[in-house]
Structure 1
């Protein structure tokens, strides 16, 4: 049954059948969705909407007089019981929210790029809504969005990569304590930095086990900048990132061979975020690097990145980013599942593999900052890229 309901009476577990107003009024991409968590409920209540239509056949219902829940038609939509939420439960909710943001953002970027390819204009309000969602997620749980964004489907790589770089740019801008205006600009630049690839002669969104030729890859910054310059609503800083995110500090980048501070700050940030996401994401022609190994290789590089910005990026991600596999002193491997901001060298890990016996072991969660945990990170001269080993790595969440 379809009911018209004031925003104030909405509950987690209800199914929105239709939203009144436009995207700028509420910031939701889909007009039909389950209010699956408190984040969506808060977003609806903070919007300009006064009412929505709900479908009681697909979600919870309410009584007209008191807003009391009558029945639950979607068991997965039931709100959590009141009480203290454990750190693991809070972490799982943060990852669920981040996964939802990533999926919605990827779909929006895919449509946006498609419209640009057909000669349409970029919806700046829509972009700003996406960036705000990312910023809110990073404020609530810095690691969830940036770690999950590395997971990509091959046939949607371009769109997912754009979302990932936007999340990394937003996180880095926060770590560098840039103004809110610059944080939003960084996120927007991340979303649009590869828009020139929609005009590539080789369709990079299609599954291919062959890496696109270098001469083809080098065309997209200029092509993208041309697209963005045609739209007067796009800030010049965003255009500059699109054009110069492949420049290097030593002047060996492209397309203009800029060096040092000739490269704008946001472009120097984008060079780091773009490279990190590319190298840690698996593609049909190459398996992604382990995140901690990627940071190690980036710090060892000479002349490629701005060292000060790279230092801020390492601080933002953590010495061992969530999703890294690290060697422990008791001949075990642990998957990093959470950071200890005050002790970045001692993250929370999920131990899952015995190096000594070369097989999986029962998973257990260990906080390496606990002096009684009985484990610790094995000091090594250079980290091992365990991502290439084919180990049965467990899920980050849970």
Structure 2
């Protein structure tokens, strides 16, 4: 009767040895890859190694990386405390785009988080909205829109920076090990705040083992023949605010790019992927104030303002201003669209998988028409021939 227990004990020991061997093996392979390609970004390294960015980062737990708490509200509370860091660099990315902004995040005023007495419906709406607000980040230099339910892992990273100084950052990932958002401390005053935040949110278990969930296959797009195109176009024309567009997609069960294909006449016009260069170059040349939206399923980051320096580098086209960088892998772009909704014109670019990479708007004052200079510039973008 003892033999099965002995076998189980041996198998258990082997499993423990195997799990401990796996992490060093990944760490060693990453170290070798960094030696061969020192400029390779961690996200691209993860792809080469058949891993995820979160797992690569976790190989340094106990060295340069500290695991932070990941309870239901942890990410929101960490971001709320991060408002006290002062000047930071906020970085958000998706597969084919990166947006980086250096500045100070705006905090909400106390009354903005106060309940509305006597109105249960408004109070319910407020509570739902507050789930994705971390006490600020609405407008201003660091402008973010959160979907915290998709945030899973959080790390504090302290390591030598490329400029020789110590880099301190908070890095967040989803359940698939994909980067959600990163914040880098950019002021001396922020160091003590960072250290206190890390101490307060440090996870009891400092382990490199993560439960990474596989990414589900992308759902098939509804056939155009199954869409009530006439009703869809009528609903589009009745939009009174550009923010209603997401609800329109849900109501008719269509993807974003599918909606552009089925748009009412004159409401969506296809441009070439190369139009992104002209849009950025002309915005810089004419000193147009633009808005750039770039994100993933966890967060959308927004830049508002004027840009100055644009440049190509390999597969990427970039904005390289002192406190704003935008990096777009233009070789992965498949289509671009000029879109008109509720009197607002945007330009959106999609990759070869039909995923939205980045969208642009002209900056406009509340309740006022969009600048004619923005409309004229978008009208000059090169149209797609098919």
**TM category, shorter:** under 0.3
Higher RCO structure, 1 or 2 (CA under 8 Å, sep 6+): 2
Larger strand percent: 2
